[in-house]
Amino acid sequence: MKVSPLWSILARQFSSKTNNQQLQTIIHQIRFASQHIKPIPNEERQLCYTIPNGNFTFEQRQFYEDNGFIIIRKLISPSTLERFRQRFDDVCAEKIQIPGLTIMKDIAHAKSTSTVEEKTISRIQDFTLDDEFFQYCCLPELIQCVENFTGPNIMSMHTMMINKPPDAGKKTSRHPLHQDLFFFPFRPANRIVCAWTAMEHTYRENGCLVVLPGTHKGKIEQHVYPNWKGGVNKLFYGIENFDPNREKQYVEMWEGDTIFFHPLLIHGSGTNRTSGFRKIITSHFADSSCYYIECKDFQKAMENEYLEIFRKRTGRQDATIQDLWKHRSRLVQGKRINL
């Protein structure tokens, strides 16, 4: 990655001394604007999945262009990740309550106890209202990468910490292969990116991420609940009629490694066959000038399911899907334009 030291030093100094978001916006916009003055080399002109003149090298951009993902090793330090691990423990111990947070259990463990504890929590979603967890979305080392996909005005749209439990024997810890764009009512897709950081070694045995390189060049597929014998977790939609023989890549990652991937990339994760929990933290980011769209008929069932949960939780029977997304998203950097 090429990092421009002047801009990153200025940004950090201003943010620590004045915490002035407007100043940050100006710095980021000047940086992007001044880069556009430079002519774009011919070889970069046909790249469309990343922004020209960000801080990725041409080779990094070309890799993402071809595969729909890129891994940056050791991007986040162990001490930073420890803070989020601690925060998660506090949620499990019910020491803190985070507004807007959704706590999900794996169906195989859900009935075992009604209390909230690490053993039963498989993921927490929508932690943007918690300033401590939200720090993940604002880490300068992460944002410097995210800017290559979104540009300078960045919204965090969807956040999760996943605590994949040891499988209880029913293979419910699997996450079926899917495309995130199926769930998102905003576009354009190329200005959206997922950042997914391993909080420990993730490998085949504990259910690492599985990707199908190059599938970001396809279209949105129909998604349904898979017909699995042991049952399926809530909202774990998978691609209908998926050919199991298609070539997959199991992505082994170590603590702090971060994968950035396109919302059309087909991905999922395997069964956790170990006795430990597999922890990761993730956020989807979008350019704040992305705009909301109506979902298509084949997405309505999924959208209604989300809406029903949101309306029940907030008591707002007239809430729309945009209300839901506005509620779960938060500006990270720059100006909030449409989203």
* Contact footprint for ligand AKG (CB under 6 A): 162, 164, 175, 180, 209, 267-269, 280
Residue 38 CB neighbour total at 10 angstroms? 9
Q: Whole-number minimum distance, CB 296 to ligand AKG, in Å?
A: 19
Closest CB to ligand AKG among 65 and 180? 180
Cα 177 → chain centroid: 15
Q: Whole-number minimum distance, CB 76 to ligand AKG, in Å?
A: 16
Closest CB to ligand AKG among 153 and 197? 197
Q: Whole-number minimum distance, CB 260 to ligand AKG, in Å?
A: 14
Q: How far apart are CA 275 and CA 243, in angstroms?
A: 30
Q: Whole-number minimum distance, CB 200 to ligand AKG, in Å?
A: 12
Integer CA distances (angstroms), 217 to 139, 220, 262, 295, 336, in order: 29, 10, 9, 20, 28
Q: How far apart are CA 193 and CA 198, in angstroms?
A: 16
Q: Whole-number minimum distance, CB 195 to ligand AKG, in Å?
A: 12
Q: What is the DSSP string of 133-176?
A: HHHHHH-HHHHHHHHHHH-S-EEEEEEEEEEEPPP-SSSTT-EE
Q: Whole-number minimum distance, CB 162 to ligand AKG, in Å?
A: 5
Closest CB to ligand AKG among 51 and 193? 193
Question: Closest Cα partner for 163 from 224, 132, 203, 117?
Answer: 117
Closest CB to ligand AKG among 53 and 179? 179
Residue whose entry in the numeric block shows the structure tokens 């999945």: 49
Is the preceding omega at residue 188 within 30 degrees of 0, hence cis? yes
Q: Whole-number minimum distance, CB 259 to ligand AKG, in Å?
A: 10
SS3 76: coil
Handedness of CA 193, 198, 201, 207 (dihedral sign): negative
Q: Whole-number minimum distance, CB 117 to ligand AKG, in Å?
A: 20
Closest CB to ligand AKG among 165 and 268? 268
Count of CA atoms in the C-beta half-sphere (13 A) of 262 = 26
Closest CB to ligand AKG among 232 and 280? 280
Q: Please state the φ and ψ torsions of residue 140, each to the nearest 5 degrees.
A: -55, -35
Task: Using CB positions, name the residue nearest to ligand AKG.
Answer: 269
Closest CB to ligand AKG among 164 and 328? 164
User: Which residues does residue 102 pair with via DSSP β-bridges, in sequence order?
Assistant: 125
Residue 47 CB neighbour total at 10 angstroms? 16
Closest CB to ligand AKG among 124 and 339? 124
Q: Whole-number minimum distance, CB 337 to ligand AKG, in Å?
A: 26
Task: Yes or no: say if 131 and 235 are a contact pair by the CB < 8 Å rule.
Answer: no
Closest CB to ligand AKG among 11 and 160? 160
Helix, strand, coil percentages (3-state) for the chain, rounded to 5, are 35, 20, 45
